[in-house]
Amino acid sequence: MKIYRITKKKEYLNPEERKQIQDKFHDIDIQCTFAKDKDGYYCYTHRARSKSYPSISDIPKSVVNFISSTSSARNEMIKIAVADGEFRDWKEKVNNLRDDIKDLKKDGKDAEDRIKKIEKTIDDLNIGNRRFWQMSNVFTSVQRKLERFDVLEQEWKKFKEEMDEEIKKIVEKKFKAQIK
């Protein structure tokens, strides 16, 4: 079977032509798209294209089956085959996945709403900022008191040294006065 490129200019089918396709191929699992060009009607997927036929009734079912077999949806069915050779119902799997995604989105939205309520409560109470500023103020206050204490301690040492020297001088004077 010859595979044609999809480079020809295509036109999509009108509702009446789509109805004809459904009537003719109702017993086939169609995994391809139908279109028409200047040469006639054809079916295609992203991997293959049939030749053009003058009318929809001229398109053989074997061609539609072959082109449908190139669809990625078919490949997905092959990938999920069970060991005994039967295929899982991929539509059910897709629906289950959609339901799971909806549930996840709902759970995500619920969690997001809860987080927003918590953030609003924290903002209303201003606990985080208040604690930060309180801790910051306490730290700054303690730090300033320690710095003042260091300054006072140094001043006290300096004063004590000066007083010790004065006392020493006075004691020496008195001692010298007693000796003379």
Q: Is residue 162 part of a domain?
A: yes
Find all residues with CB under 8 Å of 25, minimum gap 6, and list them. 61, 64
Alpha-carbon distances, residue 18 vs 10, 12, 33, 60, 64 (angstroms): 15, 10, 10, 16, 14
CA–CA gap between residue 80 and residue 90 (Å, rounded): 8
Is residue 69 included in any domain, yes or no? yes
pLDDT at 159 over 70: yes
For residues 131 and 65, which has the higher predicted lDDT (pLDDT)?
65
- pLDDT at res. 171: 84
Find the domain containing 167 and state its range: 126-179
- Mean predicted lDDT score pLDDT of the chain: 77
Q: For residue 15, what are the CA distances in angstroms to 12, 18, 20, 22, 35?
A: 10, 5, 9, 11, 12
Is residue 91 predicted with pLDDT exceeding 80?
Answer: no
**What pLDDT, in 10s, does the model give residues 71-83?**
776 555 555 544 4
Over residues 12-35, mean pLDDT: 86
Predicted local distance difference test score (pLDDT) of residue 73: 60
Per-residue pLDDT, averaged over 91-113, amounts to 77
Can you give the length of the chain in residues? 180
Regarding whether 131 and 71 lie in a shared domain, the answer is no
80 contacts 88 by C-beta, under 8 angstroms: yes
Question: Is pLDDT of 166 > 70?
Answer: yes
Distance of CA 128 to the CA centre of its chain: 27
pTM of the model: 0.39
Domain assignment present for residue 2? The answer is no
Residue that is last in its domain, among 79, 94, 116: 79
- What pLDDT shows up at residue 53? 94
Q: How many structural domains are present in the chain?
A: 2
Summarize pLDDT for 30-45 with one digit per residue, the tens. Answer: 888 899 988 899 988 8
Does 75 share its domain with 15?
yes
166 within a domain of the structure (yes/no): yes
